[in-house]
Structure formats: C-alpha cells, structure tokens
Amino acid sequence: MTFELTKEYLSRIQDAISLHDATTLRAEMDALYPADISGILYELDTEQARYLLTLLDNEVGAEILANLDPAVRLDLLATFDSAELAPLVNVMDSDDAVDLLNEQPIRVREEIIGLLEDREQARFILDLLHYDEDVAGGLMQKELIKINVNLTVNACIEEIREQAENVEKVYSVYVVDDVGKLLGLVSLKKIVLARRTAKIADIYDKDIIFVETYRPVDEVAEVMQRYDLDAIPVVNVQGRLLGRITIDDVVDVITEQAEEDIQVISGLSGEVEEDDTVWARSKVQLPWLIAGAVGSLLAATVINGFQSELGKIAALAAFIPIIGSTGGNVGIQTSSLILQSLADTSGLSTPPGRRLLRTLLVAVINGLVVGLIAGLYTFLIGQPRLFPVVATALLAVVLLASFMGTVTPLLLNRIGINPAVASGPFITTANDLIGIGVYFLIADLLLAEL
C-alpha cells in the first residue's frame, strides 16, 4: 500500500519528536520505506529531522541521505559531527558517499574518511573523489562483481558469494583478465545453467558495451537509454575495469537535465526551487522578464508607428492579441520539436534543408486554417474588408514563426551554444515583435488598395 503523508500523521510524528518518544518513532519508521521517511524529513525543521535520523539504522539512514535533496541534506548534515557521519558513509554505495562528501568542507571530508571502519570503502571513495561530477568517473560506483576469465563456474560461484556481500544490486558479473582488463560479462542465468566444471572463458559474452571514465554523463545516459541497460561498466584508457554506473544514477541525470531544460525554456536564468528566498527566485526570473518587457516595448513602438491605420480602422487593434499569441505558440511548438530531435542522437539526423522544408509545409497548412478561421471572424464583427488582412497576416506570421523556431536552435547548436536557450521567452518576444510588424505592414499595403 502506498504511504500518504497527511497533516494528522505529520503532527503525530512532530509530537513524538518533541517528547523524544523514541519507541513510538522507531515503530512508525520501521513500517515505512526510506523514500517515505525522506518525505517526512522535508516537512520537519532541521533539529527535528536530525533527531529522527539518529533513531534509524545506519543502512536506512544512509539510503535516506543519499536520496535527499542536496540543499536539504547540506543543512541537515551541518548539525552532525564527523564521528556521527562516518558510520552512515561507511555503509553507503561509494558513488553516493562521494556525492555527500563533496558537499562537506575539506577538513570534515578528511575526518570522515579517516574514521571509516571499512578501509576498502575509504579506498573506493579516495579513488572517486578526483573525478569531476559531470563525467562517467564521477557517476560510477566501485561496488561490483568481477571474476577472472580463467575460473571455473564452481569457483566463480564462490567468488560471487564472497563479493556480493558488498554489492546491493547484482545485474551481471564482469569478466576480466589477470591485469583487470575488461573482457566481457556473463549473466547469472548462464552461470546457474552451466556445468560446474565449465570454464568462464567458454560461456562469457565478449560483446559488451562500456564507457570510459572521461565520457560526459549525458553521453552515458544516452548510451544506457539506447541499449536499455540496467548497468554499464566504466573503464580507464587502458581498458581496465574501474567501476559501474547503475540505472538509478542515470535516471537522476536525465531528471536533472530535464529540469534544467524546462527552467531555461520557461525563461529562468538559473536553478530555482519553490522554497528559495524571494530575492533568489527574483534573480533567476528577472533577466528574461526584462528581455520580454523590452521586446513588448519595441512592439508597442511598432504599433505606435501605425497610428494612422488604427485611426482609420480601429478594429485592427482587435486582432493584435491573436497575431502575437499565434506567433509565440507556433515558435515554441516548432523549437520544442527541433530541440527534441537534437537531443535524440540515436539515429541519423535529418538534413537541415529537409527539416526546414517539412516545417514550412506544416506551417502553410496551419497558417491557412488559422487565418481562415480568424478571417471569417471579421464578418461577424462587421469588418469584411479586414478578411484579406487578417488571413494573410496570420499565414505570414505562422510561416515566419515556424522558420525562426526551426533555424534558431539549429544555428545555436551549430556554434556550440545550448539550443534550449532559443526557446521560451526569447522566441515568444521575437515573434511578437516580428508578427506585429508584419501585421501592420500587410494592413498598410492591402487597405491602401481597398
């Protein structure tokens, strides 16, 4: 049954914490998954969260800390000393331990490593600390099962039993040579079904997908998505097996990338959370809001330049909103499709010319339909002579917006700039400005002939 955090339940937990009722709290937490306990910690203040965390088993506490939001975790761990944190880090997966330690001051980090009872864990952490977080080496964990290619199946099973004690999830067994070079992998199914005297060299799969430590994390995520992998081994430049990256870590990377893209597309200039300070949230929203305001003022300047047309036919003003909104919507839709295609590197890319032609053909159909609908509206308001103006303007705006939504991301991608920045407020503002200008230019040309 899925746990639901209610106000009544949270109040009961807070009352138990205030009374230091450890027995009740342990009984309540024993019935929950670590992810559910994390949800409770988010609703508690720092001191309450600290007390609750100290009541949990180290394994549960370590899993909770590994999955907490970094900002919340940083505040929470500031209340712990190194001696209290060491037992938790001691039982973490090495990659999660490194993520936690990288958030701590150097002195605290070194104290914790020095206090670890599991010296193999300490070595794993030291091995991983020097990798940047945005490459495969910074994402991998050292815990895995590897066997020598010269072993028999019987000896392999004994080796698996010994190594599996420190590995939480066993997806496959990696096969290495005498110097630790990755040769392939063997599935647990093959090991179980093979004769106990068979050699691993005769049953392992040599066709294996791996990544080097220096590969960017987005490339790792793309490889694992493409080949539907639960885990992928990581090797150094000599091909020696150093660790593995599991699917849960890749999901985190994909989620973070999606959140960043959404924020950029939404016009946010940096990371922002709902519980950030008012000034912090304002700083990331203001740049694009100012840019949008400047664009709108320019559009107002364009409108002001056509006061004579508005003076002759005031009904022209009624169609300004649909011109602006249609151009903005079309630009966002088109650029989103282009961004999606640029992000998918699993196949051959469509040539830019063909992509643009297809986009413009779609724009012609959409522009004709929308223009016809809006043009017919001119008859309802008693301004039939505006029919050619509105219909033609909307067709032109849809074509121009589609063109901009296609070309801008492609150009930015070509020169090495994140194409996501071309979306959102930028394209909307640009299309507003161009759309209004085109609308009044067409009105000026067509109405002059009527």
In contact, 424 and 289? CB cutoff 8 Å: no
Which H or E element spans position 244? Answer: strand 241-246
CA distances from 186 to 173, 349, 402, 408 (A): 5, 35, 50, 47
pLDDT score for 410 = 80
pLDDT score for 97 = 94
CA distance linking residue 47 with residue 42, whole number of Å: 12
CA distance linking residue 113 with residue 111, whole number of Å: 6
pLDDT score for 133 = 86
Residues 6+ apart with CB under 8 A from 269: 283, 284, 285, 286, 287, 288
**0.95 exceeded by the pTM?**
no
Domains identified in the chain and CATH numbers: 7-132 (1.25.60.10), 146-253 (3.10.580.10), 278-449 (1.10.357.20)
Only one residue has tokens 């630009």, namely 331
CA distances from 247 to 64, 218, 227 (A): 18, 13, 12
**Which pLDDT tens digits describe the chain residue by residue (450 residues)?**
678 889 999 999 999 999 999 999 999 999 999 999 999 999 999 999 999 999 999 999 999 999 898 889 999 999 999 999 999 999 999 999 999 999 999 999 999 999 999 999 999 999 999 899 889 999 999 999 999 999 999 999 999 998 988 888 888 899 999 999 999 999 999 999 999 999 999 999 999 999 999 999 989 998 998 898 999 999 999 999 999 999 888 887 777 776 666 666 555 555 555 555 666 666 666 666 666 667 666 767 767 776 666 666 677 777 888 887 788 788 878 877 777 776 665 544 567 677 778 888 888 898 899 889 988 888 888 888 888 888 998 899 888 888 888 887 888 777 776 666 555 666 777 777 788 888 888 888 887 654
